[in-house]
Structure 1
Amino acid sequence: MEANPVGPAHGGALGTNLPRVLQLIHEHRRISRSEIGAITGLSRSAVGNLVNKACDLGLARIVEHRAPESVGRPSLEVEASEYIVAIAVHPEVDFLELKGVGFNGEIVASKRITLQEPLSIPEMVDAIVRQTQALTRRIEKLGPHYDVVGAGVVIPGQVDSATGTVIHAPHLGWFDVALRDILEARLDLPLYFGNDGALGCKAEIRFGAAEGASEVVYLHGSSGIGGGAYTRGRELNGRNGIVAEFGHIRVSSDNTRDYSGLPGTLEALVRREDLEQVLGLSKVSDEVLEDTLLGQRTTQSTELVRRQIDTLAVATANLINIFNPETVVLAGFLRSLYRFDQSLFLECLKKHAIPANLRSLNIFLDELGGNSVAIGAAELVFEHLMMNPDRVTAH
């Protein structure tokens, strides 16, 4: 991944250049000190001081690297550490999931609770607080170097990320909930908030299927359908973070309404629960849904999936016509539709997309799978941490 160079070290170089070096270590996961110097333009001694500081903070460690069939002393590389952890908190209508994500992207601990019925706001808040505290204790018991430094809260709906206010999460039945204020009163952790689709997109473009791409459209299917978009390498955020509500694109004159009450939309016609129902499943993971869908192709399920594929292709074509991306990523349960009949999806896409925009277009499935949203939520924590590394206690 390319990085913008910073000026040579001088004066307060340690403080001004440390965030950039931490970013390189975090994004590359493992990188040599010479590569850091080449990218940043920093001197060898300056890089050494910055790497030592990153190690002191528990964010990195020095490891030996020996190339195959090489002779002589192994080279030294800098590796991102799993010790500094962000907790991703993901409330949904039928589950509450928490994952501890290390600075190196590793999932160090997780907890998933299946909900038999939707929780009220006070009940969900109680569950979030209780489970976050429990997972924090569990992570910090892994060893003396482990430190939980914040939590990223995933919202399946519209959220003002600056204020932490959930504007509308229709599946949860939440309207104008000042969630940050509520949780900050009970959790002693820095808290950050983001939309589930946008967070999945953030993770896939940094570490997954869209890594290295600058023009990206990401579609994510869960209880609803959302997504994210990057243009010229920058995330589209809209006026207040509410953007890329791709599930609400109207694709049909059908009067079936989505969870926000809009008729004929992608989300109204491509529904996860319809797939579960036709397969006789209930509240299963995306992996189980996909395995069952691909392994049990009944006449009824095939008819439903083909309709959903056609609708998904129409919506995707609309986005291709608007954004002209180099990469489209399908995530969540949408990847199951693509895998069910890739040829049908591509055939439908060609009928509705501008031919010029299809040239050299890459269509990928998410690489991070069920961890993409959690990794994206953790990024909210790590982004702030890298800009303010003094918040980390030296190890």
Structure 2
Amino acid sequence: MIEEYDDQDSPKKDLIFGNYIKQANFLTSSVIFDMSEVQKDALYFIMQNIDYHSPTPTDKLKIDFEMFLEYKKVKKNDFYSIQETVQLMNGIRDIRGSFRNQYTGQFVTFNLIDNVSINPKSPNELDVTLAQYGVILLYEKALADYVERSKSFLPDFNKYANSGKGFTQIEKNVVSLNSYPQKKLFEMLSRFKSKGWMKITLFDLKLALGFITIKSKTISKDFQAEQLSLIFSKDENNDIEKEEKLKVFADFRRKFLDIAIKEINNNSHLDITNLKVEPIKTGKKITSLYFTFKKKMNVQNMNAEEKKCYDYFLSFGFAETQILHLLNRIGYENMYAMFNDKISTKKSEYGFRFYDKSTKNEIKSLSGFLYENVFNNYLKPIKD
């Protein structure tokens, strides 16, 4: 469990577990340095259990270690010794990355966590203090304040162009994917679920996933602040060298991309399915990738129109699984159109009555008629 607290006497809060992790788009589009899978899962656990929309962001958190292991679906004895627990704590503290502030043009390096320690009163609890950018990137209000401060650098006519407060809803079962790069790819795709496609340069994708790192030839430490502009602009610089894993695209596709796509498509607990990728060439060189996919519908990730359609058909006694299946396959607009094509509605003093347009007969069982006559091509099994 994670407890947000302002002082030692604050009461504990219940878990905020939901189906979705809310992650600021600033963080989704950031480059995170050398992040392990366990670090990623720890960050997911933190984000899932704090209130992203809290009006009072705090830098103080408590992590219940056993709850984290339960989240990972492992047992303590099977997973971590005391030494490994300390390594995990250090790993959480060392989560760092960079992003380009679109308002100021600055390239910002950040740490999310300032420090982590074992609570002496409860050895199973970890006390976590967020760093400055940890608060900014994990809480909507803190990010909004940061964006407004950043906008003060803009000309007046640009100050209202973009709120910068957008966030990505990431299905919580992302934790079940097998590696950090797979999880990061799923995050990036999740940002475009409403569109069903994502186009990205191969360089940007490999950089975000950790397959490209940039180093200085004269300074051993990666990602010096003055070099960040290269990461995002990709300009040439004689003092910079890139280290690239799986440099040949065929290797990158075979050893990572195809495997990641298969893992996502075969994971029934995720809300993205039918994921495909198409390489795009500039001349003879592959320079970009075009991903297409479908959002797997559930009540929690519906937009307002989808939820209205869901409630409408549910009121007719139509099965929830059937409604979700149709929303996934044909969408709410086609559901309404097919309904209106086959059914007429009349209002009486007793409520609404429904009639088969082809026979003019009143429909006695609307849910049965919907299944047999309206959506039969999409719901009924195909006979050999």
TM-score band by shorter chain is under 0.3
Q: Which has the larger Rg?
A: 2
